[in-house]
Structures are given as C-alpha cells and as structure tokens.
Amino acid sequence: MTNSSTPDVLTKILARKRQEIAQRSALVSIDQLKQRITTASPVRGFIKAIRKKLAAGGTAVIAEVKKASPSKGLLRENFLPAEIAISYQAGGASCLSVLTDKDFFQGCEEYLQQARAACTLPVIRKDFIIDAYQVYEARAIGADCILLIVAALDDAQLSSLYQLATDLGMDVLVEVHDAVELQRALRLNLTLVGINNRNLRTFETSLQTTIDLLELIPDDIIVVSESGLHQAEDIAMLKRHQVHTFLIGEAFMRCEDPGEALKNLIA
C-alpha cells in the first residue's frame, strides 16, 4: 500500500509489481510454491554469516549482483552471476544480494539461483516484496533472506511479511530511508536493519543518512549501510561511527574483477 508521500518512482515500481504478481500467480500457485519449498536447498544463515564476520573483527560486506538500475542504467554488460558470486566469495564477502526485479533492474530469479549454486554464501533476494506470494517464491528459489522496504508497505503488511519469512526459515533485512520509517521498523522484533543512503525522490546519496539514524537504533540490532559507498574512505568513515556492515553493488559491478574490488575496498 502506498500513500501520497510515496515517491513517484516507487509508486511506479509497485504498480508494475502488483501486475507481475498477478501474472506469476496465475502460472504458479502458492500451493505449488509451497511444494517446491519442501525440496528447496536448506537455508544458509544470512545474519549468522554477518555475525561471524563481525565477531572476528572483520568488515561484513553484502556484495550485490546487479546488472542495471533505474538511476544508472546498465552497470555490467558481461553479466555472469555465477562468476561474480565466485569472485565475491574469494574477495571476502559475507553474503550476496541478487536483484530479481526484471523491469527496472534487469534481474531474474535464475540469476539468484545461478549465483547461489556457484558459492557457499547466503543470498538475499533483492526485490520489491509486497505480497506473501513473493515470500514463498523467494524460499522456493533458494533465497536465504528477503528485503522488506518500509516505504513500500503499510504496518500490517510489514509485520505479516516479516513473520511469514521468519516462519519459512529466512532472515529479513528491513530497509529504511528516514527516521519515520525507522520508528515503524523498530516495532518489529528486528535483528537487521538497512539504512539506504539514497533519497528515493532525488536519487542523490548521502552517507550522513546512516550517521543521523544510528543514534535511534538499539545496540543489539545490526546496522547495514546501503548505497553511495564507492571508496575506502566511505567505509572507514562509517566504521568510525561503529558501522561495520555494508551492502555494496554498483562500485563492484563496474570493475572487471568484482571480488578484487571488494578486497581492496575493505583492506
């Protein structure tokens, strides 16, 4: 559900997403997805992998497998999810994020399956999830975690989708953009919160967004800083503010060897 404060770009994406869900559910029912889940690969602990890296004093990177974006267009022509996943694991990634949205990010479910099959890292399905159908679908295709964007959901949707994902054994990354969204997110029994530094109205990024919201978040919640992270100094600056988990995609996708770029960024 969206309201008058929902950015135009998100409204457009969600309208298309509702059409997509109707089309997909006509082809494959929820009952069929539930059946597929019974034979799906066991869940890999997404939050567990992050905690393990942090406990060892490391920097936890959720490395993104992303072909394109609405704001930047095509990011990588030679897009081979399996090779990218292998490179990321070699470069020290804790987890993977794979875009499955087709119309706006040129992603698909097969990319997630290819990336996950090529490595041993947990994978988050990065999409605009607004319906229970997509949560079942995520587990059926092998996702270990899903993204829930607070700006795209009302409180009832946020709570029910979060609970469903948890019931299916998946972890959840709840994404916020501002203090109002954060307060809504904190009503959940959160373990992992993502702060997206990108303004959905202007598409501009500011790492100050993460810094400003940090003081509102309880210490036992893992904070993931997302978007606008391009150089080692960005990471170093946020680490000085006790943020040690990052979701990064674009900066790596433009490099020939994404894993090497990751290694250099967190060295």
Give me the catalytic one of 64, 109, 137, 181.
Answer: 64
Q: What is the CATH number of the domain that holds 25?
A: 3.20.20.70
- 215 in catalytic set: no
- 126 in catalytic set: yes
Band the pLDDT of 1: cuts 50, 70, 90. Answer: very low
Q: What is the pLDDT of residues 88-144, one digit of tens each?
A: 999 999 999 999 999 999 999 999 999 999 999 999 999 999 999 999 999 999 999
- Whether 2 is in a domain gets the answer no
Answer whether residue 20 shows pLDDT above 50: yes
Query: So what's the pLDDT on residue 176?
Result: 97
Give me the catalytic one of 17, 53, 66, 67.
Answer: 66
- 175 in catalytic set: yes
Answer whether residue 237 shows pLDDT above 50: yes
- 64 in catalytic set: yes
**Total count of domains within the chain:** 1
Name residues whose C-beta falls within 8 Å of residue 11's C-beta, 6 or more positions apart in sequence. 2
Calculate the CA dihedral of residues 222, 228, 230, 236 and round it to 10 degrees: -40
Instruction: Round the average pLDDT of the chain to a whole number and report it.
Output: 94
- 226 in catalytic set: yes
Give me the catalytic one of 109, 137, 181, 226.
Answer: 226
- Whether 204 is in a domain gets the answer yes
- Whether 244 is in a domain gets the answer yes
Domain boundaries, position 230? 8-266
- 3 in catalytic set: no
Q: What does residue 192 show for φ and ψ, rounded to 5 degrees?
A: -135, 120
Give me the catalytic one of 126, 137, 181, 225.
Answer: 126
Band the pLDDT of 224: cuts 50, 70, 90. Answer: very high
Pairwise CA distance, residues 39 & 155, whole Å: 32
DSSP 200-241: TTT--B-THHHHHHHTTS-TTSEEEEES---SHHHHHHHHHT
Give me the catalytic one of 87, 94, 196, 225.
Answer: 196
- Whether 59 is in a domain gets the answer yes
- Going by their DSSP bridges, the two strands 60-65 and 95-99 should be labelled as parallel
Give me the catalytic one of 175, 181, 197, 225.
Answer: 175
Give Cα separations from 232 to 175, 235, 253 (angstroms): 23, 5, 16
- Whether 163 is in a domain gets the answer yes
Query: So what's the pLDDT on residue 6?
Result: 66
Query: Angle 104-230-17 (CA atoms, 0-180°, nearest 5)?
Result: 15
- Whether 1 is in a domain gets the answer no
- Whether 3 is in a domain gets the answer no
Q: What is the pLDDT of residues 136-188, one digit of tens each?
A: 999 999 999 999 999 999 999 999 999 999 999 999 999 999 999 999 999 99
* CB distance 179 to 152 below 8 Å: no
- 97 in catalytic set: no
Give Cα separations from 110 to 24, 57, 59, 84, 102 (angstroms): 15, 34, 29, 14, 11
Q: What is the pLDDT of residues 208-223, one digit of tens each?
A: 999 999 999 999 999 9
What is the pTM for the complete model shown? 0.95
